[in-house]
Chain A
Amino acid sequence: MNDTTGLGDDVQLITLDVNGTSHEVITAPRRTLVDVLRHDLGLTGTHVGCEHGICGACTVLVDGLPARACLMFAAQAEGARIATVESLADSGTGTGTGELSDLQRAFTAHHGLQCGFCTPGFLMLAQGFLAERPEATKEDIREVVAANLCRCTGYQTIVEAIDACATARRSQRAAGAEEDSCN
């Protein structure tokens, strides 16, 4: 295929499922997932820091699990469900009202961000982690946020935001279960 990417190599056609929408992209194999998300799909919410797996700014969900988008070639993501930070708010699909998710609101309420560079990565890390471990304790959360780097907040407010979100979700579920059993 002809090169239309400016990368000057062989290109391939790949299909990516990002935030529930299927995208066809013509790109070079050496393009990482994070670069395709940002440059080809215009989804610039996912950030890039170190490109070697250390900082976590590029964290997205791959089939529901947090992963480094800088350590995957886009071609490797074919067939997987990719979710980026754009999927969290109600406007993620372009049809909603734009209301932020409970996790995002918890970050705002607890000052879980200052400059915001690391925030998309922390949000997707927490989103994937809490989906798998809704019962996570503050200690578990403290351990998991060590995966990503933040140079502003000192982490305490991030831990509090995620913990508050997890606690609220648990009590919501408990209330829901109670309602069900009353019916």
Chain B
Amino acid sequence: MKPAPFRYHRARDVEGATALLAELSDEAKVIAGGQSLVAMMNFRLARPGHLVDITGLRELDHLGVGADGGLRIGALTTHHTVETAPADRLGAGFGVIRDAMRWIGHLPIRTRGTVGGSLAHADATAEWCLLALLLDAELVAHGPRGRRHIPAGEFFFGYYTTALDPDEILVEIVFPRPAPHAALTEFAERRGDFAIVSAAVDLAVDGGDIHGGRVALGGVDAMPVRVPAAEAVLADGGSFRDCAEVAASAVDPPSDGGGSADYRKHLIRNLIERACEEAMSR
């Protein structure tokens, strides 16, 4: 199908983009890589009256580790740029982020789709959303009232809903510290599809011993979730298998076309154990 008519605006700077969004209010939508939005517009699931194209804002296309050891990624950075970033820019402790990119759609999707678009779109199994939650990222939003930093734990509200106001744009995501022993893995029916279940862990390892860790899941709720019960198992020195078992019984996944709740629990058991092993072997 073809999209409904709209007016097209090309933003020249961040201030201009947010001022325009404020003026046009809920009639307008930001467009970045278009890999989710254009598909929705072609099917008329979205019919914005105005599009504000931010792809010209090259200052939002950047990636690098700062003096504080944190990794900052501009909202317009594509999945492909992250996937192919040279090691000195991405930083040794952030391999989990680079490796997660291959799970996002396919090459021609990753060359256009952006980090900011993924986070703002907030699909329940999107890899960026899971990484943000797992690694305690901060999302930087800019609006007519200025800039604010939103912790990932307070950013996702539910299916495709976030803490962003309609006149705010996401400008940057900050991963505060390296995660040398972290991994993300998932299962989808076909390569490149959105995952049925995705699992990610970040182990705290010191001298070969595990002192705890964070565990997050996608595809079990309306947004990515952390699983405190499973994290407690790691903190108490439990096995990866126990951690995975506890995670599967702690969540209440939906039954839908992707799979039944039982099937999802089965995936969780396998994927968490696999993610723990991968994270440990890094």
Contacts and interface: CB of A to CB of B under 8 A. Distances in A.
Given A29-B8, A71-B34, A146-B191, A62 B43 contact: no
For this complex, into which size category does the number of interface residues on chain B fall? 20 to 34
Given A30-B2, A53-B109, A73 B8 contact: yes
Contacts of A7: 5
Most buried by A among B38, B42, B84, B105: B38
B243 to A, nearest CB: 30
Interface in B215-269: none
B67 interface: no
B6 A30 contact: yes
Interface string A1-30: 000000111101000000000000000111
B35 A71 contact: yes
Most buried by B among A28, A30, A59: A30
Contacts of A125: 107-108
B257 to A, nearest CB: 16
A68 B109 contact: yes
Interface string A70-114: 111101100000000000000000000000000000000000000
A36 to B, nearest CB: 12
A29 B51 CA distance: 9
A144 B102 CA distance: 10
Given A9-B5, A76-B34, A76-B55, A146 B106 contact: yes
A67 interface: yes
Contact of A29 (B1, B7, B43, B107): B7
Contacts of A68: 35, 108-109, 112
A131 interface: no
Contacts of B84: 132
Interface string B1-40: 1111111101000000000000000000001001100110
A66 B108 contact: yes
Contact of B38 (A12, A32, A143, A146): A32
A10 B50 CA distance: 12
A65 to B, nearest CB: 4
A29 to B, nearest CB: 4
B69 interface: no
B270 interface: no
Contacts of B8: 12, 29, 73, 75
B61 to A, nearest CB: 13
A151 interface: no
Interface string A144-180: 1011100000000000000000000000000000000
Interface in B34-69: 34-35, 38-39, 41-43, 51, 53, 55
A146 B112 CA distance: 17
B108 A52 contact: no
Nearest to B5: A9
Interface residues of A, number: 35
A10 B49 CA distance: 12
B190 A146 contact: yes
Interface in A19-73: 28-30, 32, 35, 51-53, 56, 59, 62, 65-68, 70-73
Nearest to B40: A52
Contacts of A73: 8, 31, 34, 38, 51
B81 to A, nearest CB: 10
B158 interface: no
B214 interface: no
A30 B4 CA distance: 7
Contacts of B42: 32, 51-52, 70
B107 A129 contact: yes
Nearest to B37: A71
Contact of A147 (B2, B4, B108, B112): B108
Interface of A: 7-10, 12, 28-30, 32, 35, 51-53, 56, 59, 62, 65-68, 70-73, 75-76, 125, 128-129, 132, 143-144, 146-148
Interface of B: 1-8, 10, 31, 34-35, 38-39, 41-43, 51, 53, 55, 80, 84, 105-109, 111-112, 190-192
7 contacts: A9-B5, A10-B7, A32-B42, A66-B108, A67-B111, A71-B39, A72-B34
